[in-house]
Structure 1
Amino acid sequence: MFVSYNFRIIAEHDFGLSYANRGFQYNDGFFETLIWHQGKIRFLDDHLDRIKRAMQVLSLTQLPQLTASFLQTEANALIRQNTLDTESIRIKINIWRESGGLFTPESEEAEILITVAPQQPFPAVIGQADFYTGLPNRFTPFSFFKGPYALHYVQASLAKKKAGLDELILLDEQKNISECLVSNIFWIKNNQVFTPSLESGCIAGIMRLNVLRACQMLKIEVWEGFYTKSDLYAAEAVFTSNVTGLRPILYIGQKQFATNHPLVMQIEQLVLA
């Protein structure tokens, strides 16, 4: 396998990190997941915007190479080097601060690692979901991107596995709906779309953004806010969104929801066109 480390493609066995790496020592960095589909990175400009905003919040110097054209070219080269021949490929970008210092960094310069792997298929429908009762989500200046607060996602994933569930729904500190483990959450009632506010601590998902854009184009009324379990249970259909697409939820607890709602299909058709 080959990886791109600081924009240089090298063999995986030649890549290594120092014990002083700040991502390892202090979680001083973040990651971004993108989907390459049929020769093109999906929603690339939106991903780059979130990457740049995350770097700004973390006081990291912007990487001038991170342009749409350069990243597409780098991803294509990395895919060819790894001889990947699948329709969809997952691209992961890890960015962290250069080594140096304890809690107080000595640098604002960033390092970057880009890896690629075939995108594994997901079931079209999430069969059984429920609510996570462990660590709550919390809104911070860092909660819109992925990385700094991954521990509670790990713990929730362990709880999901132990319970034999297909998905868990995370709540905020006031027990409002926030998001799912690796996706944002939406629901439909009376031909209106509802989704938690970013202030619930959910990720500012790239697919979430494009679902909202699609609803605007389709003239579907959207409500972003703070919602409880009761609001979710009153829905006609519930679906999740992440870079891989949209997936309806069949059951939350004992409550069954529609998995073929026409609005969901319209939105999905538009965002994945």
Structure 2
Amino acid sequence: MVNFNGNILNNETLFLNETNRGLKYGDALFETIRVVNSKIFFWEDHYLRLMASMRILRMEIPMNFTMEFLQEEILKTIERNGLSKSPARIRFTVFRDTDGLYTPDRNTVAYIMEAKELESVFYTLDTSAYEVELYKDHWVNAGLLSTLKTSNKIINVISGIFAKENDYANCLLLNQNKSVVEAINGNIFLVSGNTIKTPPLEDGCLNGILRKQLLKIIEKTEAYVLEETSISPFELQKADELFITNAISGIQPISKYRKKEYKSEVANDLLGKLNAMARLS
């Protein structure tokens, strides 16, 4: 069941057409949200990111787009899909709902909510083989727009195809300065000793929700030193650990990059702290 502007529709319902600006121009934003037993993880952070992103893209924010209203719509979507007592993934897409060519006639919006069941109630650590490679055919152009979760994700799509064709679990993306920015589906963290590094937003990485939570956790943990700094590809093989974060999977350890194999001790320690934070969010 799909929530389209507050109306619950069957999955087979045809409710979009060729005028959709998300389809024609990538004129859309989305949030992927983890919901467990009707509890929305990090909802305030998701909401504030969405509102800030809509303002940056000059979308008109409807008066009823309050935290409370959208929360009710998410829970309604979860309920109608029979997932109120299950872990679920919500994809919440907002697109400019108007005619026009590159320049829209107006800035009003519409939205779609989709729900799918997840396997685990808690964030879990998958320590099976997870090999990555650099994707070097195209790069992320660092700037404010690259930090937003827009539907303009063609680099992520083709790098995903490259990974699949070459039997990699994921790829790491570079910016125009050849710094490591992020993975296909999340932010990247590098561990060397007790120092944990992640690229700054200025390098063009996504302003990830789980990235934000991990930064808070690391800053409060005396055992670790946090650095938001550019990461060179040469640093990858010198690291003790690499891991990827996103709002659905939590923390995904990388087991191998080229000839280097990695541990997952710090990722495992942070995972416990992340689960505790999620329950309190």
Short-chain TM bin: over 0.9
The question of 1:94 aligning with 2:88 is answered no
Select which of 218, 225, 229 maps to 2:229: 225
The question of 1:124 aligning with 2:126 is answered yes
Q: Which moved more, 1:46-55 or 1:211-220?
A: 211-220
SS at match of 1:113: strand
Q: 1:27 to 1:89 in 2, by over 3 A?
A: same
CA deviation after TM superposition for structure 1 residue 7, in Å: 1.9
**Does the 8 Å CA contact 1:184/1:242 hold for their aligned counterparts?**
yes
CA deviation after TM superposition for structure 1 residue 86, in Å: 6.2
CA deviation after TM superposition for structure 1 residue 58, in Å: 0.8
**Does the 8 Å CA contact 1:143/1:203 hold for their aligned counterparts?**
yes
Counterpart in 2 of 1:250? 255
Counterpart in 1 of 2:217? 214
CA deviation after TM superposition for structure 1 residue 90, in Å: 0.6
Aligned partner of 2:70: which letter? L
Q: 1:26-37 counterparts in 2 under 5 A?
A: 26-37=25-36
Distance (Å, rounded) in 2 between the aligned partners of 1:73 and 1:195: 34
Distance (Å, rounded) in 1 between the aligned partners of 2:212 and 2:35: 18
Q: 1:1-273 counterparts in 2 under 5 A?
A: 2-84=1-83, 87-119=86-118, 124-125=126-127, 127-219=130-222, 220-243=224-247, 244-259=249-264, 261=265, 263-273=266-276
CA deviation after TM superposition for structure 1 residue 19, in Å: 1.1
**Does the 8 Å CA contact 1:79/1:116 hold for their aligned counterparts?**
yes
CA deviation after TM superposition for structure 1 residue 3, in Å: 1.3
Aligned partner of 2:221: which letter? L
Q: Which moved more, 1:50-59 or 1:113-122?
A: 113-122
**Does the 8 Å CA contact 2:125/2:268 hold for their aligned counterparts?**
no
Runs of 4+ in 1 over 4 A off after TM superposition: 120-123
Task: Output the TM-score relative to the length of structure 2.
Answer: 0.90
**Does the 8 Å CA contact 1:48/1:66 hold for their aligned counterparts?**
no
**Does the 8 Å CA contact 2:37/2:84 hold for their aligned counterparts?**
no
Distance (Å, rounded) in 2 between the aligned partners of 1:155 and 1:23: 19
Identity %: 25
Q: Which moved more, 1:79-88 or 1:198-207?
A: 79-88
Q: Which runs of 5+ in 2 are unaligned?
A: 277-281
SS at match of 2:141: coil
Distance (Å, rounded) in 2 between the aligned partners of 1:37 and 1:184: 22
SS at match of 1:112: strand
CA deviation after TM superposition for structure 1 residue 115, in Å: 0.9
**Does the 8 Å CA contact 2:5/2:111 hold for their aligned counterparts?**
yes
CA deviation after TM superposition for structure 1 residue 123, in Å: 7.3
Distance (Å, rounded) in 2 between the aligned partners of 1:20 and 1:85: 34
CA deviation after TM superposition for structure 1 residue 69, in Å: 2.9
CA deviation after TM superposition for structure 1 residue 15, in Å: 4.2
**Does the 8 Å CA contact 2:38/2:85 hold for their aligned counterparts?**
no
Q: 1:120 to 1:155 in 2, by over 3 A?
A: farther
Counterpart in 1 of 2:279? none
**Does the 8 Å CA contact 2:242/2:262 hold for their aligned counterparts?**
yes
Q: 1:81 to 1:270 in 2, by over 3 A?
A: same
Q: Which runs of 5+ in 1 are unaligned?
A: none
Q: Which moved more, 1:147-156 or 1:50-59?
A: 147-156
Aligned partner of 1:145: which letter? L
SS at match of 1:213: helix
Give the length in aligned residue pairs.
270
Aligned partner of 2:117: which letter? P
Distance (Å, rounded) in 2 between the aligned partners of 1:86 and 1:124: 24
CA RMSD of aligned residues (A): 1.8
SS at match of 2:211: helix
CA deviation after TM superposition for structure 1 residue 143, in Å: 1.1
**Does the 8 Å CA contact 2:191/2:239 hold for their aligned counterparts?**
yes
**Does the 8 Å CA contact 1:170/1:177 hold for their aligned counterparts?**
yes
Q: Deviations over 1:119-143 (max 9, x none)?
A: 2579703521111121111112211
